[in-house]
Amino acid sequence: MSPTSFLFTFESGPDLPTPRPGQFVNVAVADDLTLRRPFSVAGIPAPGRFDLLVEMRGKGTRALAEKPVGSAVDVMGPLGNEFTLPDAGGVSLLVAGGIGGAGLRLLAQELRRGYHRIHALVGARSSEGLLNHVFPAPTGDGEVLLEVATDDGSTGFHGMVTALAEGVLDEPDAPSRVYCCGPPAMIAAIADITAKRNVPCEALLEEMMACGVGACRGCVVATRSGYKSVCSDGPVFDTRELVLEELVRA
Ligand SMILES: Cc1cc2nc3c(=O)[nH]c(=O)nc-3n(C[C@H](O)[C@H](O)[C@H](O)COP(=O)(O)OP(=O)(O)OC[C@H]3O[C@@H](n4cnc5c(N)ncnc54)[C@H](O)[C@@H]3O)c2cc1C
Ligand code: FES
C-alpha cells in the first residue's frame, strides 16, 4: 500500500460476526509478545474474510509482516463500537492522517455501498506515506471526491490536511457530517473546525491498548462525561464529547 504499510487479508471462517466500520480486531502477533496489537478492520473483500492495513512501527507489526502467507493467527474480534452512518442525502467528509486511512477504509466502502456521496481528504508528511488509494477511486460525477495534502508539498496541497478540511467545510455545498482518523493533533483540529461550524463529527481513536476488552483501563481517554475506555466505549467517539486538551497531551 505504501513503502511502510501492508494490506493483509485474513480468512476468518463463518463464525466471526461481520465487522462494522470503526470496529477493530486484537491480534496475537507473536508468541513472545504478550500484548495483542489492535488494528481497524479495513475491508471485507468476501464473506468470511477481512482486511487489515498495517503500518510497520515496531516489533509487533514487523512480526506480523514476517509471517508466511497461510499462517494461522489468533485474532480477537470484532471489538468496539462503530461509526454512525448518515441518513440518505448529503456528503460525508472523511479526513485521514497517515495510517488513519486504515480506520476509514471500511467506512468508505460501506458508504459507497449505500450510494452515499463522499469527499475524502488524505494527508501525510510526504508523498511516500500517502494512503489515498485506500479510498474508492474518484468519480467524474462528483459522487466520490478525493484530495491529498502533504506537509512537504511533494504531492497535492502543500500543507496540513486540516487546512483542506476547513476550506471544504466553508464551501456552499459543504458536507453534512465528518469522520476522521489520524494523529491526536489532527483529530483535535478537526474537532475544533467542525464544532465551530456545527457539523457533526466522529473520530476513531488509536489509543495504546492492553486487554482490548474494557478490563484494565489502560486505554482511557478524557470525555465530558468522565474517562472512557477506547477499546470498549470506543474506538469511535463524537468529537464534541472529547476533552481536546487532554487528547493532544496524551
Ligand atoms: C483501535 C485501534 C485501531 C488501530 N488501527 C490500526 C490500523 O488499522 N493500522 C495500523 O497500522 N495501526 C493501527 N493502530 C495502531 C497499532 O495498534 C500500533 O501501531 C501497533 O500496535 C504498534 O505495534 P508494534 O509492536 O509494531 O509497535 P511498538 O513496538 O509497540 O511501538 C512502536 C511505536 O508505535 C507506537 N504505538 C504503539 N501502539 C500504538 C497505538 N495503539 N497507536 C499509536 N501508536 C502506537 C509506540 O508509541 C511506538 O512509538 C490501531 C490502534 C488502535 C487502538
Ligand atoms: S485496553 Fe484494557 S480497558 Fe482498554
Domain CATH number, residue 242: 2.10.240.10
User: How far is the centre of ligand 1, averaged over its atoms, from the C-alpha of 38 (Å)?
Assistant: 7
Instruction: Give the structural domain span for 227.
Output: 205-250
Write out pLDDT tens, residues 21-38.
Answer: 999 999 999 999 999 999
Do 177 and 238 belong together in one domain?
Answer: no
User: How far is the centre of ligand 2, averaged over its atoms, from the C-alpha of 142 (Å)?
Assistant: 41
- Report the pLDDT value the prediction gives residue 193, as an integer from 0 to 100: 97
Question: Mean pLDDT, to the nearest integer, of 179-194?
Answer: 97
Mean pLDDT of the chain: 93
User: How far is the centre of ligand 1, averaged over its atoms, from the C-alpha of 168 (Å)?
Assistant: 30
pTM for this structure? Answer: 0.95
- Report the pLDDT value the prediction gives residue 250, as an integer from 0 to 100: 66
Do 61 and 100 belong together in one domain?
Answer: no
Q: What is the CATH number of the domain that holds 87?
A: 3.40.50.80
- Report the pLDDT value the prediction gives residue 107, as an integer from 0 to 100: 97
Q: What percent of the chain is predicted at pLDDT more than 90?
A: 80
Question: Mean pLDDT, to the nearest integer, of 175-186?
Answer: 96
- Report the pLDDT value the prediction gives residue 1, as an integer from 0 to 100: 63
Do 130 and 116 belong together in one domain?
Answer: yes
Write out pLDDT tens, residues 102-150.
Answer: 999 999 999 998 889 999 999 999 988 888 788 888 888 889 999 999 9
Count how many domains the chain has.
3
- What residues does ligand 2 touch, defined as CB less than 6 Å away? 209-212, 214-219, 229, 231
- What residues does ligand 1 touch, defined as CB less than 6 Å away? 24, 37-40, 42, 53-55, 57-61, 99, 102-103, 206-209, 235
Q: What is the 3-state secondary structure (H, E, C) of the chain?
A: CECCEEEEEEECCCCCCCCCCCCEEEEECCCCCCCCEEEECCECCCCCEEEEEEECCCHHHHHHHHCCCCCCCEEEEEECCCCCCCCCCCEEEEEEECCHHHHHHHHHHHHHHCCCEEEEEEEECCHHHCCHHHCCCCCCCCCEEEEEEECCCCCCEECCHHHHHHHHHCCCCCCCEEEEECCHHHHHHHHHHHHHCCCCEEEECCCCCCCCCCCCCCCEEEECCEEEECCCCCCEEEHHHECHHHHHHC
User: How far is the centre of ligand 2, averaged over its atoms, from the C-alpha of 91 (Å)?
Assistant: 34
Do 193 and 233 belong together in one domain?
Answer: no
Do 147 and 231 belong together in one domain?
Answer: no
